[in-house]
Chains A and B, each alone.
Chain A
């Protein structure tokens, strides 16, 4: 992640609004330069992190603004995969043997500097030059570039701008997220960052206000900024997103907005990365989705199945059904798949489902479950007529039959 120092020169505050000077390729020279940075890193595969860092720093000669370059280099480095060099796992044993050897030959006298290396080599059955190579092979700078990011200049530009915006959030006290799709990943990230949220309905969509749990009682209320910044990668599964943040700057609060837009709109800088397709969590989810596609292709095109589900608020908990089923006439039903789980999990799920009081929810449950009372609880929570059983694979036809009955506008 970039730091405040990377973003500070590019953040201007004007009448209570913070604006970021993103990197824009106005004259067509930026993207070719970034292309070159990407190629440079790919050529350095198998070299150490120290070497990669130094090579990127040396590009200083080609740029006017060193802070810009430092930010781009950091964004590029963070996208790299580094791995420990061969034999790094022996480094602690090598150090132990070498230092003990010196302990027995103390103090050092002229001409004996190599002797501990040879003693350690003899003890470990290696050569003295192995000892020298492995001595500090486990430090971070010695890690080798296992895989350079498969990225071109255009992608790096969008990524750098996103990282810049992300670093501006380090001073945030509160953020409001609006997104199309990707909610599952967003909620997971909010929870993982140990932040709290309130969901509000805005027209046909939702917005999520995210705040630090104890912010109201703290001296430094922007303490949670780094956690807000950690949510940003989760937005890559949304097709479109926007964040409205309040930043604490010089004692006051300023408004700051980020729009996720990986392809440049007219005159606007690219920010973000191309949305990933939301992945399906389990084999059963994949199987249900593909069965649906087959049906839709063959005859029944009135129904469509979508991963983009609507968050359902239940107290301070949030429930995200697995799929939304939409009919051409505007009716909707929600689908939740229940596979192999422990009785405790099922019990908790039943409680959630009951609390949500959703009459358009269909439960698709694996018949092989023999969890007794918990299952009764679950069935009681939604009613028998909204449970679809399956034994091998969930079948779209069975789900659709129930959907025809329960879906509402």
Chain B
């Protein structure tokens, strides 16, 4: 029996989000550790593992378990970092490699992260708010360090590589299991981690709390200074900040916005009227609009009533069928073809109001579609083909809406809207087309089915663009 190791020899390890200290009495360990009967050990949150490493080194407690990945490739990026990008990395390094860099949209935050990764050459986990951004990071990292070193972890796609990109939603599961492999966390659009207005931490912080990574880099264009107490604790303070006014070398492309009205066919018109009639008659009969204080309240009452009322269900279904009819109106497809012929040399992105519409466009025009379920590697390949000109257009559903670079695309066609006239979504679509490339003028066409609810939604959208373009992007229409 003597050759069996003693059951409780001192050790420090990471397990499922916990920093675990075994074989050490509570009196000899840092006082913030707590006893965990499940493990018969002292435990603390994973993010304090680096503190415990210092203590363990002093107290001769060996660390057991995995170590961070190595990144065995240098950064290959043809871009020369601008002065402010170098400066940002230096400040971050001087602050102990913990902290947030605030730079305006389009100023090249990604390159700052690439430089930081290149400096450390260890495993890094990049966390972004949306799948679209995950795919975008995947592409940039693959170009910079080699595709075999980059993995994506979200939804059905789960591949851990030295550089792994994930969403805030999936980060918890990734870091709980594989946290030890990453010594650096890159937190994109870190303003999403600001405290709530009530001063509480958001649940997305959980991933940061369990991650053992010693180094953390936040990136954002809009930092909430008074709501950052938890963020500072978990990722460090703002270490570098430049505003748009200070940036003379950031430019956005000029663009033209064109709205085209399309007519429904007579058959479509008849069906539109029938759906509207079913829907409106139910609403008038149920009287939600009279009783509710706001249209949003009326809608909530209506949607809730559909659970138990067959008549409300029919009305709700008519409402959705009407939306589908407008999304898929035949005239929009014909008009799209016409616009593509007017701009034969441009790469185009066609924004659709739903997966069904994107698939119809894809089948009709023989062009690829990108939806939320398109894997990051496939999107990477598709956008590469678009860039090279092997394909000339893609149909997309929302995916390309937030934070996606398609610098080659200078033509956008909006066929429908999945957010019922959100100005923000519209402005983001514009943003995609607005990355400066030579003197190209971007064009955004908006196809609106005349005589339908879309007309009003389009007007709301237009107002949103004006607001956003004057404020955030810094130029008017």
Contacts and interface: CB of A to CB of B under 8 A. Distances in A.
A329 B362 CA distance: 75
Contact of B310 (A60, A116, A135, A220): A60
B40 A316 contact: yes
Contact of B18 (A102, A103, A213, A355): A213
A221 B335 CA distance: 52
B15 A136 contact: no
B307 A109 contact: no
A375 interface: no
B389 A213 contact: no
Given A66-B307, A217-B210, A194 B176 contact: yes
A67 interface: yes
A110 B343 CA distance: 15
Interface in A258-278: none
Contacts of A101: 366
Contacts of B362: 135
A74 to B, nearest CB: 15
A65 B312 CA distance: 12
A129 B45 CA distance: 58
A301 B11 CA distance: 51
Contact of B4 (A66, A194, A198, A354): A354
A223 interface: yes
Contacts of A103: 385, 389-392
Interface stretch (B160-168, B199-207, B214-222, B248-256): B199-207
Interface string A46-70: 0000000000000011001111000
Contacts of B7: 315, 355
A103 B337 CA distance: 14
A116 B45 contact: no
A100 B359 contact: no
B474 interface: no
A216 B366 CA distance: 53
Contacts of B385: 99, 103
A61 B310 contact: yes
B1 interface: yes
Contacts of A95: 368
A214 B343 CA distance: 56
Interface string A73-104: 00000000000000000000001001111110
B392 A217 contact: no
B176 A214 contact: yes
B3 A377 contact: yes
Given A214-B17, A381-B1, A60 B38 contact: no
Nearest to A104: B390
B39 A316 contact: yes
Contact of B390 (A100, A110, A381): A100
A108 to B, nearest CB: 5
A117 B366 contact: yes
B341 interface: yes
B176 A106 contact: no
Nearest to B4: A351
Q: Which of A65, A99, A355, A377 has the most CB of B within 10 A?
A: A99
Contacts of A255: none
Contacts of A381: 1
B259 interface: no
A67 B308 CA distance: 8
Interface residues of A, number: 49
B278 to A, nearest CB: 15
B203 A223 contact: yes
A101 B177 CA distance: 44
A61 to B, nearest CB: 7
A251 B368 CA distance: 46
B471 interface: no
A109 B44 CA distance: 65
B4 A216 contact: no
A99 B209 CA distance: 45
Contact of B306 (A66, A108, A116, A315): A66
Contacts of A217: 17-18, 44-45, 209-210
A89 B363 CA distance: 18
Given A213-B15, A214-B176, A219-B203, A108 B365 contact: yes
Nearest to A210: B38
Contacts of B366: 98-99, 101-102, 108, 113, 116-117
A106 B203 contact: no
B57 interface: no
Contacts of A194: 16, 176-177
Nearest to A195: B16
Interface in A367-399: 377, 380-381
Contacts of B373: 139-140
A146 interface: no
A46 B5 CA distance: 58
A65 B1 contact: no
B202 to A, nearest CB: 7
Interface string B1-33: 101110100000001111000000000000000
A223 B172 contact: yes
A381 B1 CA distance: 7
A196 interface: yes
B46 interface: yes
Q: Which of A108, A117, A140, A381 has the most CB of B within 10 A?
A: A108
B365 A66 contact: no
Nearest to A351: B4
A107 B310 CA distance: 47
Nearest to B200: A219
B293 interface: no
Given A66-B313, A107-B340, A217-B209, A196 B307 contact: no
Given A66-B308, A103-B391, A198-B37, A214 B367 contact: no
Interface in A215-262: 216-220, 223
B331 to A, nearest CB: 14
Contacts of A9: 307
Given A106-B392, A107-B341, A196 B16 contact: yes
Contacts of B1: 354, 380-381
Contacts of B205: 219
Nearest to A139: B373
Contacts of A45: none
Contacts of B200: 219
A132 interface: yes
A354 B1 CA distance: 8
A178 interface: no
Interface in A339-381: 350-351, 354-355, 377, 380-381
B229 to A, nearest CB: 13
B367 A102 contact: yes
A95 to B, nearest CB: 7
Contacts of B359: 136
A113 B366 CA distance: 8
A80 B1 CA distance: 52
A214 B391 contact: no
Contact of A211 (B38, B41, B308): B38
A53 to B, nearest CB: 14
Given A108-B340, A214-B18, 17 more contacts: A60-B313, A66-B306, A100-B390, A102-B392, A103-B389, A106-B344, A107-B340, A113-B366, A196-B39, A198-B37, A213-B15, A213-B16, A213-B176, A217-B18, A218-B203, A316-B39, A316-B40
What are the 10 A-B residue pairs with the smallest beta carbon separation, nearest first?
Answer: A214-B17, A220-B203, A213-B16, A102-B366, A217-B45, A116-B366, A196-B38, A107-B340, A106-B392, A218-B206
17 contacts: A66-B306, A66-B308, A99-B385, A99-B390, A99-B391, A100-B391, A102-B366, A102-B392, A107-B344, A107-B392, A108-B340, A113-B365, A136-B359, A214-B210, A315-B40, A316-B40, A351-B5
Interface of B: 1, 3-5, 7, 15-18, 34, 37-41, 44-46, 172, 176-177, 200-203, 205-206, 209-210, 306-308, 310, 313, 337, 340-341, 343-344, 359, 362-368, 373, 385, 389-392
